[in-house]
Structure 1
């Protein structure tokens, strides 16, 4: 008990003079050091003084915390405070870094989210809804979607993209295969009075509303969505044309030359 009181008195004197950080930060530092002292006492490993503290004391303290189901991430936060404290009172101890103490922060496994081509239907804001629809139902990039001019690029049975707006400066054609596609293009034409979205609204306004819509639905911002078109059309065309011909058509419609890129789209 005398050793415990001696360590506590020394730490109290230190924290009375320690003015770094906010009140909450100081309170947290003091709490961790007091917890350290109390738990060393519980396991019967209290040194005579702070200067007599050894790495063995710390290791046994860590073992005690782990037995009591304290998470490694929490212990690592404790140890950051403890190491700083020991350094500031001139009590250097080797081998108490996270690696030596076998402390590891668990990395959460990324969850693979399966998005569907009708993702655009979740959007309430009309411009973002159309931009997403043009990517997932026609395989366009974001830039291509906002630069389409209904009076120039929309034909009776196809979407005819010119090199001035395509991502790779190559003309390409996307046939209209269903009523959903026709409805999307009709909505675009009505909204912009036959102008492109970027002409009608400005790039800045479109980008702001687009990012806001994605954040609102917890959808990644920096992601291309045309792979959803590739997957949907592959499933549709495969029974009709077979794998080889289907892949060639999708490469043409997406404006990509590499089979590897198409494979990535189909397996994303």
Structure 2
């Protein structure tokens, strides 16, 4: 059996054949952002350990079978793992299966494993930008990152890694795959004078760099950013993406979305239903999602 020695906080232990093989697979796959790659590698190693703890000794990653997946899911559910985390782990399992040309060993839907769908609550999670709270952040880069997230519906990672020299195309911004979740290149239109002024301010502040200070790594600055935003009373930055989606929906359709007090889709006229669908497709792309149904969480 292949083994490798791993050192962790002064302790040494053997990495078994499966963990060694999964490490090789994750290192060879550069799709997605660095954070996505790191998360994938971490989850794959945790799965190898979980299988080992359950008594399975897989000689390689190619040995994955349906019984292994079913055991992993059953054990995770017993541990009370949240639905969101379960879905992330299932994505990594599907990546693993696809990487070894055995995609069929994992069911195509999570329903088959009894993983419930996330609730699409009627509660509006949209949050408007609070400039008083933004002003409490200790540096211009942090303040601009929050404002960029609000103005363009960016994830925080995307906002922090944003480089105007590479992304600002005049009438749109173009996000590099290495900045985005899932490594999806995407474009977002620059629609207002306020957007243009913000991009100019970012460029004036960072020049050819990003919103991460030169002396810090992304991880270091992300941790400092999260601490400072919480300290400033910002507890739901993802709500800025919800607000962007709802603003875009109204701009595209002339209507308020259901989450913002508008009519349910089923009550719309035929013409408005078509406008609703077209708007959702546009918004899904701008937010970096590949599925239309994801917009229900933002728009209702």
- TM-score of the pair, normalised by structure 1: 0.51
Following the alignment from structure 1 to structure 2, what is the Cα–Cα distance between the partners of residues 251 and 221?
Answer: 20
1:128 aligns with 2:161: no
Contact 2:252 2:279 survives alignment (8 Å): yes
Deviation at 1:201, TM superposition (A): 5.3
Deviation at 1:219, TM superposition (A): 2.2
Q: What's the counterpart of residue 243 of structure 1?
A: 276
Contact 2:141 2:212 survives alignment (8 Å): no
Give the gaps of 5 or more residues in structure 2: 1-122, 256-273
Q: What's the counterpart of residue 88 of structure 1?
A: none
Q: 1:257 to 1:204 in 2, by over 3 A?
A: closer
Q: 3-state DSSP class of the match of 2:129?
A: helix
Render the CA deviation track for 1:178-214: whole Å, top value 9, x for unaligned: 0111122112111112211125352355335423432
Q: What's the counterpart of residue 244 of structure 2?
A: 229
Deviation at 1:116, TM superposition (A): 3.7
Q: 3-state DSSP class of the match of 1:160?
A: strand
1:150 aligned to which of 160, 164, 178: 164
Q: What's the counterpart of residue 119 of structure 1?
A: 130
Higher relative contact order (CA 8 A, sep 6+): 2
Q: 1:115 to 1:256 in 2, by over 3 A?
A: closer
Say which one has the larger Rg.
1
1:77-116 aligned within 5 A: 116=127
Q: 1:222 to 1:262 in 2, by over 3 A?
A: same
Deviation at 1:119, TM superposition (A): 2.9
Following the alignment from structure 1 to structure 2, what is the Cα–Cα distance between the partners of residues 184 and 222?
Answer: 18
* Number of corresponding residues: 156
Following the alignment from structure 1 to structure 2, what is the Cα–Cα distance between the partners of residues 179 and 122?
Answer: 23
Q: What's the counterpart of residue 140 of structure 1?
A: 154
Q: 3-state DSSP class of the match of 1:244?
A: helix
Following the alignment from structure 1 to structure 2, what is the Cα–Cα distance between the partners of residues 190 and 260?
Answer: 38
Range with greater deviation from structure 2 (240-249 or 126-135): 240-249
Following the alignment from structure 1 to structure 2, what is the Cα–Cα distance between the partners of residues 222 and 193?
Answer: 25
1:194 aligned to which of 208, 213, 218: 208
Following the alignment from structure 2 to structure 1, what is the Cα–Cα distance between the partners of residues 130 and 249?
Answer: 18
